[in-house]
Amino acid sequence: MARFTSSRSVRVGLAGIALMAAAGCSNANKDISLTEAATGPAKVLKVATARAVTRQVSSSVQVTGSFLAEESSDVAPPAAGRVIATPVDAGAFVKEGQLLAKLEDRDAQLRLQAAQASEQQAEASLRQAESHIGLAEGGKFDANNVPEVLSAKASYDSAVAQAKMSEVDAQRYGALIKSGDVSQSAYDKARTQADTAQEQTNSARQLYEASLNSARQSFQGVINAQASLAGARAQTAIARKAVEDTIIKAPFAGYISARPIAVGQYVALTAKIATLVRVTPLKLELQVQESNAPQLKIDADVEASVPGYPGRTFHGIVTSINPTVDSNSRTVSVEAKFANRDLALKPGMFATARILLNGSSMGIFLPRAAILTDPSTNSSQIFFVRDGKARVAVVQLGAVDGDMIQILSGITADFVVATNHLQDLFDGEPVEPASPSASNHSVGSVLWGGPPGCSEQRPRPTPPSALVSSVKANAGPGGPTRTRASAPQLPSREGE
């Protein structure tokens, strides 16, 4: 009977202890039944842990920016017209000179045919003018080589020679008449012939000069014919260009990012036929604080990451540094170039970049397995263990060193973090560190843990199985066995 009474006293004591433990927790713990608190410990998630380490890393500047195409062009038509063909679509790769669109060219073709006919007519007129003066095609003009001039020159030379002979005869007759060897009539005849020959010479000279002038005037006609032919050829070239302008080609090799036109649409000179971008290589535009500007160098290495490829690092180099500082943002514009051979990067992508500088500094590193990244927001977080609970911390990632990642902000070097079950953890969840270095809590507090809503400043209640220790004590000769409750143990703060 006494043993039965003692057992009932123990059960009443256990229920009272459980009620006291529940009263020390937050309102969320009111749902825990006395039966659950008295029957045994709740299941606690076991997690592997690792401690943050410090390593020496190269000095760097972390900035953000957006990728831009190496070249981007809104291709416009050189002529207005109606679209009759669009052989490329958005996303297609085109080579330089490849057809992007074609406009209706019937009117342009007719104008070209008319211009070509005028050109042929002008060329025929030129050849006729050249043949009139004996000028070979492409030959150099010389008036003395014109047939009419040559004939007049021959007549003039003959007249000059005849005049000289007649003058000599007249002079000889004049000497003979003085000696009485010839008669006066013979001398007069010789003198008349000499004077007539001189008159004929003057007439031949005038004809020769007239033929020279006529030849020069004819050559001026050739010049006019040449000018007319040049004008006709220019009109043909304009008409041919109008035909070529109906064919719109790619100015450089790249990808079509937009093609807003369709067959049958009329486009003006200001319309956009297609948007062409060159994405190999790709540019990354960054804004660096002016305090870091003196350390920036051309050809400095740049590491970048984008939300679309979590865990992947892209490598580039600094290609230009703006010599001026923006007076509003106090930043310097820096441009880096990335090869992008696999076309993974796209223009417009947001990137987090790290510009490597000279020198080194100490950095905090964690294993890759300890980091949980949300690709949709490009944010990363870790769960550190403290007081037997998992606590979340948002971190900023830096350089990658094998399986370790640098943490730029969010934690310090003494943090112990969980490395598995990250998807199952939430802030404040009780956990049991599996790593001995991270498990410095008391056994009772780690295994039972208590409900998630309890205050960290309040001692966490030890499970009932640990509160009661069966200590046999003699209550005197033949007295019953008694039990006593041990005092609750305070959990240690991990990492402190």
Sorted by where each begins, the domain ranges of the chain are 2-42+450-485, 49-66+277-444, 77-104+246-272, 107-244
Q: How far apart are CA 417 and CA 386, in angstroms?
A: 9
In this prediction, the residues of the chain whose per-residue pLDDT falls under 70 are 1-42, 136-139, 141-144, 435-496
Q: What is the DSSP letter of 35?
A: H
- CA triple 160-162-166, angle to 5 deg: 115
Reported for 229-236, long-range contacts at CB under 8 A and 24+ positions apart, including other chains, are 229/119, 229/122, 229/123, 229/125, 229/126, 231/122, 232/115, 232/118, 232/119, 232/121, 232/122, 232/123, 233/119, 233/122, 235/115, 235/118, 235/119, 236/112, 236/115, 236/116, 236/118, 236/119
> What is d(CA 275, CA 71) in angstroms, rounded to the nearest whole number?
10
**Gap between the Cα atoms of 447 and 431, Å rounded:** 8
Whole-angstrom distance, CA of residue 305 vs CA of residue 463: 48
**Of 52, 45, 55, 53, the residue nearest 384 (C-alpha):** 52
What is the Cα–Cα distance from 292 to 325, expressed in whole angstroms?
Answer: 11
CATH number of 77-104+246-272: 2.40.50.100
Q: Quick one: tokens of 162?
A: 């005849």
CATH fold, domain 107-244, is: Helix Hairpins (1.10.287)
In angstroms, rounded to a whole number, what is the distance separating the alpha carbons of residues 335 and 357?
15
CATH superfamily of 49-66+277-444: Efflux pump adaptor protein, beta barrel domain (2.40.30.170)
pLDDT of 224? 86
Please report how the helices 184-244 and 106-132 are oriented relative to each other, as an axis angle in degrees rounded to 10. 170
Distance CA 52, CA 370 (A): 10
At a CB cut-off of 8 Å and minimum separation 6, what does 218 contact?
A: 129, 132, 133, 146
Is 217:149 a contact under the CB 8 Å cutoff? no
For residues 396 and 355, is the Cβ–Cβ distance under 8 A? no
Q: pLDDT at position 140, please?
A: 72
How many of the other CB atoms lie within 10 Å of CB of 401? 12
CA dist 200 and 151 (Å) reads 15
CA-nearest of 56, 54, 44 to 385 is 44
Question: Looking at residue 144, what is its pLDDT?
Answer: 67
Question: What pLDDT is recorded for position 138?
Answer: 66
Is 23 strand, coil or helix?
helix
Judge contact between 459 and 488, C-beta under 8 A: yes
Contact, 267 vs 83, CB < 8 A? yes
Report the pLDDT value the prediction gives residue 213, as an integer from 0 to 100.
80
**How far, in Å, CA of 307 to CA of 26, rounded?**
39
Q: Identify whether 281 is preceded by a cis peptide bond (ω within 30 of 0).
A: yes
- How far is 3 from 20, CA to CA, in rounded Å? 26
Return the pLDDT at 451: 37
Describe the chain by its helix, strand, coil percentages, rounded to 5: 35, 30, 35
> What is the signed CA dihedral for 140, 144, 148, 154, rounded to 10 degrees?
-150
pTM for this predicted structure: 0.51
What is d(CA 174, CA 297) in angstroms, rounded to the nearest whole number?
Answer: 109
